[in-house]
Every structure is written in C-alpha cells, then in structure tokens.
Amino acid sequence: MADYEFCKVEKEGRITIVTLNRPEVMNALHWPAHFELEKVWDAFAADPEQWVAIVTGAGDRAFSAGNDLKFQAAGNKIRRAKTGFAGLTNRYDLDKPVIAAVNGVAMGGGFEIALACDILIAAENAVFALPEPRVGLMAGAGGVHRLPRQIPLKQAMGMILTGRRVSAQEGKELGFVNEVVPQGQALEAAKRWANMILECSPMSIRASKQAVYRGLDQPNLENAIRTVYPAQAAMLESEDYIEGPKAFAEKRPPQWKNR
C-alpha cells in the first residue's frame, strides 16, 4: 500500500478507510493534500476489490477544519485539483458509496467533504458550519449547492448566510446527518453502515447511486424513471443479476461476483 503524507489509507476487506491526517491543524487541507487525496480516490475508484469507502479525520477534535487559511495567507500559490476539495467534492463519476465518519469539527471545506459523501455519521461532538463569508470567501467547493439539495432551502440559507454552527443532533433533525453516535464511535458506526452495504450486490449499489444522482438532474420524474443509466444497464447484464434471485430461491446468502 502506498505511503501518503497528508492522509492514511487502510483496507479492511472490501472497505477503504481514508483518514485525513493533519491533526496539528485540525485536519485543514492545503493544495498539496488535495492532489494527494485525488490520487487516493482515483485508486479506490479503479480497484474492483474495494466496494465502499469511509472518510474520517485523525484525532477526536476535528474531521476537518476546511481550507488551511494560514497556508493560503502565507502567500503560497494556489493550485486546484480537478476533482475538488480533498479530491472528492468535484468528483461526479464515483458510483461506489462513500461514508463520512465525522468526529468533531467539520467546518467550511470539511463540511463540504461530508456533504459530498452519500451517508454521514456524526459523533455527538461533531459541529458543522459553512463560515466562509466571515473571512471574505464563499463555500465554493459545493457547499452552497449541495446543502440546499439535502435540506429545506430556508434552513440551508440560514446556515449559508450566517455561517452559524450546527450540532450533530441539529444536523440529524435538519436531515443531512444519518446517525448520531457517542464521541469516539463515529468510525465504528460508519463501518457498521458499510457492512450493511456490503450485504448488497455492488452492481446494484452502483446502479442505484448513479440513478439517484443523475435522476435528480432530469427535468421531471417521468424522464428520471424512463432513463436507463449506464450502471443500471451493466447491472441488468451482470452475473449478480442472476445470482441474487437464485440465492433467494435456494435460501442461501448470495455470492456476489461484481461482474
């Protein structure tokens, strides 16, 4: 497994765990980290043996405090990874599911990383905000677009226009958090969700994820339903499409082949 400077990557069976590893700056990220993480997600996407990913932060204080403003303020030339903040926020073709295990502060770009994931697990000490306007910026790594698509518009605008902080429990009430767990248990809870996903056909999971996100971009419900998406077409021709019903009929666990 490759060695990384700004993150740790571990594989547990078919689960890839990516840990943002700059605890000295609350896992804030600068452009070298973005390019490194771009390579990490490229490798995960290309590996047929890895079916689900979890992203978390080193330590218990922060998932990620977002953009490393001190690095930026020092006059370092900004370079942008084409796949966005943490190599993830502008990645629109990753059909494998990604789970955020948020342990502490998720501010600005850190919150945007979590919003780019499909499932969000938050420890009780998690805090979310898009505070960019307070420092003359905006949540341009997807926050101003993803948040209003995931929670009611007025609630999203209340966060975006004030930069106010939201607790894990309020995040669940608003709808962008799937589950709140005791401090220190976010990663284990994320693994539990990942293992539930692994019980399903990976072909079906990717077809479902792709259909959801591409369907949301369709002009109306009829178009979304009538469209056959590429991953859906691949699923219909796969061995898993036969294996699932066969295993059910034979009253045994399915043996997914991912092809």
For β-strands 179-181 and 119-123, DSSP reports them as: parallel
Is 112 an annotated catalytic residue? yes
- pLDDT score recorded for residue 166: 98
Provide long-range contacts, Cβ within 8 A and 24+ apart, for 88-93: 88/37, 88/41, 88/55, 88/113, 88/116, 88/117, 89/113, 89/116, 89/141, 89/142, 90/141, 90/142, 91/41, 91/116, 92/213, 93/45
Name the residue with higher pLDDT: 74 or 15: 15
Is residue 256 scored above 60 in pLDDT?
yes
CA distance 14 to 198: 8
- 85, 34 in Cβ contact below 8 A? yes
- pLDDT score recorded for residue 163: 96
Is residue 1 scored above 60 in pLDDT?
no
Average pLDDT over residues 54-76: 87
Residue 258's pLDDT band (boundaries 50, 70, 90)?
confident
The mean pLDDT of the chain is 95
Question: Which of 12, 132, 188, 222 is labelled catalytic?
Answer: 132
- pLDDT score recorded for residue 3: 83
Residue 77's pLDDT band (boundaries 50, 70, 90)?
low
CA distance 118 to 92: 12
Q: How far apart are the first and last CA of the chain?
A: 25
Is 132 an annotated catalytic residue? yes
**Continuous segment of H or E residues that includes residue 174:** helix 168-174
This prediction's pTM: 0.95
- pLDDT score recorded for residue 72: 74
Residue 135's pLDDT band (boundaries 50, 70, 90)?
confident
Average pLDDT over residues 165-189: 98
Q: Which residues contact 6 (CB under 8 A, 6 or more apart)?
A: 20, 21, 22, 29, 32, 33, 36, 37
- pLDDT score recorded for residue 173: 98
- pLDDT score recorded for residue 70: 82
Question: Which of 112, 237, 239, 250 is labelled catalytic?
Answer: 112
Helices (H), 13-81: 31-46, 69-73
Per the listing, tokens 């942008």 go with 80
